[in-house]
Amino acid sequence: MNYTILGRTGLKVSAMGLGCGGPSRLGKKTGKSEAESVAIIRQARDSGVNFIDTAARYGTEEIIGKAIKEVGRSWLVLSTKMLTTKMKQPGFERITPEEVQKGLDDSLRLLGTDYVDIYHFHGVLPRNYDYVVSEIVPTFQKMRAQGKIRFIGITESFDGDPQHTMLQRAVEDDIWDVMLVGFNMLNQSARERVFRRAMQKNIGIVVMFAVRLALSRPERLRQLVKELVAKKHVNPSDIDENNPLGFLLRAGGAVSLTDAAYRFCHYEPGTHVILSGTGNPDHLQANIESFSRPALPHEDLVRLRDIFENVDSVSGD
Ligand SMILES: NC(=O)c1ccc[n+]([C@@H]2O[C@H](COP(=O)([O-])OP(=O)(O)OC[C@H]3O[C@@H](n4cnc5c(N)ncnc54)[C@H](OP(=O)(O)O)[C@@H]3O)[C@@H](O)[C@H]2O)c1
């Protein structure tokens, strides 16, 4: 496993992080038992992964708590998150500072720890950014002073904001130690809009959506590329619509599409940790191996950039 320093946090982190949300939620969404989910965490740790990302919303904090009980806390850089609005029909209701404090205490109890390394504002939409900064950030700073949080992060809603409107503002503010950013071969817009400035400010960058559905299910990829061609975001003469990324799979190239997807993100300048979400031990092993392979061939990177350079409308889900 490769390691790096997570920007201004100074934390030493593995290049691959275990994502405990997404379509898999450590196997919770794909019919795996709690013991199998705990085994995924143990397997990741035994292979050198030291970064785990979860959220109150995923329902996996308790599973991580069980793993921590078994294998200890000290090896782990733990990232979790809190929603800053709650669903209330017909609209959204904001949460109070008291609810924020309680939310963190609940997460700590489930995780079985007395601190988290990175506490994120979860999936902040552009329209909520000002409210988050003025009303909730001070509470996070207070909790940090109490020693319950080491660093403060923010995550975008990549499905709702695939253009990174919110993070383009956030990256200019001096509040955020870490950002969780949507980035993959299909939507590379974070490169110019987030990573370039984040590098100047030494903000830690964690990537989500490296694979997601479009890059793990061939039928979904074909459908999505057809949609992009129809919208004129991708030029049909640049791509084989029936096998859009088949050119990546060749001797000296990627061994699978998921392999290409993780290596693509891992070697992108400005990224530190790439999250991989799975409840399948064979997939986990394959993904760990991807992180020790070299960068994709230069000509493949150039071709990917050319094909998808105008795409900022999809997350890859
Ligand atoms: N706004 C936010 O803050 C936000 C939003 C979304 C996600 N996240 C975080 O980002 C993390 C990463 O996203 P993600 O979980 O969607 O991860 P991902 O790694 O991009 O995609 C995971 C999907 O790919 C499949 N997969 C993984 N490895 C595979 C392989 N080798 N072969 C075939 N299929 C494979 C998984 O299914 P299997 O289980 O079958 O392997 C799962 O359906 C989440 O877990 C969560 O922690 C944060």
Is residue 203 very low, low, confident or very high in pLDDT (cuts 50, 70, 90)? very high
- How crowded is the C-beta side of 218, counted as CA atoms within 13 Å? 9
Q: Ligand 1: list residues with CB < 6 Å.
A: 19-24, 30, 53, 81, 122-123, 155, 157, 180, 208-212, 216, 258, 275-280, 283, 286-287
Per-residue confidence (pLDDT) for residue 95, from 0 to 100:
84
CA distance 170 to 129: 8
Per-residue confidence (pLDDT) for residue 175, from 0 to 100:
96
Per-residue confidence (pLDDT) for residue 92, from 0 to 100:
67
Is residue 238 very low, low, confident or very high in pLDDT (cuts 50, 70, 90)? very high
pLDDT digits (tens, 9 = 90+) for 76-129: 999 999 988 776 556 667 888 888 999 999 999 999 999 999 999 999 999 889
Percent of the chain with pLDDT over 90: 93
Is residue 26 very low, low, confident or very high in pLDDT (cuts 50, 70, 90)? very high
Domain made up of 3-308: CATH architecture = Alpha-Beta Barrel (3.20)
> Hey, what are 80's tokens?
């979790």
**Probe target for ligand 1 pocket from 216, 259, 285, with the most ligand atoms within 8 Å of CB:** 216
The 8-class DSSP code of residue 28 comes to G
Residue 58 annotated to the active site: yes
The domain spans of the chain are: 3-308
Per-residue confidence (pLDDT) for residue 13, from 0 to 100:
98
Average pLDDT value for the chain: 95
SS3 for 99?
A: helix
Per-residue confidence (pLDDT) for residue 262, from 0 to 100:
98
CA distance 28 to 271: 28
Instruction: Output b/e per residue, 65-74; b: 16+ Cβ within 10 A.
Output: bbbbeeeeee
Per-residue confidence (pLDDT) for residue 12, from 0 to 100:
98
Per-residue confidence (pLDDT) for residue 89, from 0 to 100:
57
The torsion angle over the Cα atoms of residues 304, 161, 265 and 41, rounded to 10 degrees, is -140
